[in-house]
Every structure is written in C-alpha cells, then in structure tokens.
Structure 1
C-alpha cells in the first residue's frame, strides 16, 4: 500500500521547479518560434492574397486594353475597306469611261471605214454594172 508522507511535498516542489525550468528553457522559446512561424505564414498568405489581387487587377486592365485595341483595329479596318471601295469605284469608273470612249472611237472608225468601203463598192458597182450592160447590149454606154 502507498503511504502519503512528507516526501510528496518534495515531489510537488520538484515538479513545480521542473515545470518552471522547462517553461523557461523549452516552452517559451518554442512558443516564440511557433508564434514567429505563424506570423511569417500569415504575412506570406497576406502577401500572396495582395499579389493575387494585383494580378487580377492587371489582367482586367490588360483585357480592357486588348478589347479597346480590337475595337480600334476593327474601326480602322472598316475605314480602310470603305476607302478601298471608294478608290475601287473611282478606278472602275475611270476604266469604264475610258473603255466607253475607246469603244465609241472604234465604232466611229468602223463606221467611217464602212462608209468608205460602201462608197468604193458603189463606184466599183457602177463600173461593173456599166461593163455588164455594155456586154449584154453589145455596145458601149
């Protein structure tokens, strides 16, 4: 059987002294290290959150600038197409006018040549007709 005597008080005193020494040498420094570690982790987490927010903000600005550049590019492309269509219409109009003028010139040249050929044929026909008539009649006309 266990007897409780005055040595129990020594054991209690020994336990409390040991707890005080361990607290001073081991637990306090360990708690300090754990607190610093927690603060470092929390600080790193906060920095990471801040960096993530900055990245998201920059990505939003980049997307806005990209969208604005696309819109500007589309507007410039539309303006260029419109200008090109105007130039094309102008060039086609000039070419068509030139072609029409050349066609008129060719038609008038052909008409002039046709008239000249008709006059030449008429003279020739009259000469031939008179030769045929003189041969048919047997005398000169």
Structure 2
C-alpha cells in the first residue's frame, strides 16, 4: 500500500518547480520560436499570394495589350493594303490613259504619214507611168 506522508508533498513541490523551471527554460522559448516562425510563414504566404495576384494581373494586362497591339497592327495593315490597292488602281488608270493617248497619237501619225506617202506617190504616178511606158515601149 501507498503511504501518504511528507515525501509526497515534497515530490509534488519538486514536480511543480521542475515544470515551472522547464516551462521558463524550454517550453516558453520553443513556443516563441514556433510563433515567430508561424508569423514568418504567414507573412511569406501573404507575400506570395500578393505577388502571384500581381503577376496574374500583369500577365492579363500584357495579354490584353498584346491583343490590342495585334488588332491595331491588323487594322493598320488593312488600311495600308487598301491604300496600296487604291494607289494601284490610280496608277493602272493613268497608265491605261497614257497608253490610249499614245495609241491614238500613233494612229494619227500613221494616218498622217500614210496620207503624205499616198500624196507623194500620187504626185509621182505620172513619172512612174511615163517610166513604165518607156521601158515597155521603149
């Protein structure tokens, strides 16, 4: 059987002193370190979340800007293409007009030269006829 005497009280006091002593020397500093580390981890987690959110916003912003830039480039390319087609039509129309004018001018010149040649030949028909008559009869 267990006897209850003064040694139990002394052991109980010794136990309480040891717990208090260990609490101040070991448990309290360890809890403080754990608390500090938890605060750091929480702070880092918050920073990571903030950084991730910021990065996602920047990526979305960059993608939107890139999409807008592509759209602007397509519009600019289409505008330049339309302008080039318009300029091409103008140049072709001008070239056709110049070609038609050149053809008309050439036709007029050929007709004029043809008329001049006909007149020269007609004016010399008598000479040719006389020479032909001299060769035949002559």
Fold match (TM-score > 0.5): yes
- Give the ranges of 4+ consecutive aligned residues of structure 1 lying more than 6 Å apart after TM superposition: none
* Unpaired stretches in structure 1, ≥5 consecutive residues: none
- Consecutive unaligned residues of structure 2, counting only runs of 5 or more, are none
Question: CA separation in 1, counterparts of 2:70 and 2:137?
Answer: 95
Counterparts of 2:72 and 2:12, CA distance in 1: 85
TM-score of the superposed pair, with normalisation by structure 2: 0.85
Residue-by-residue CA offset, 1:23-72 (whole Å, 9 max, x unaligned): 01221121011111111101110111111011101211111121012111
Q: Superposition RMSD on alpha carbons, in Å?
A: 2.1
* Structure showing greater relative contact order (alpha-carbon pairs closer than 8 Å, 6 or more residues apart): 1
Mapped pair 1:87 → 2:106: no
* Matched length: 136
| Residues 63-82 of structure 1: pairs in structure 2 closer than 5 A | 63-82=63-82
TM (norm. structure 1) is 0.83
Match of 2:50 in 1: 50
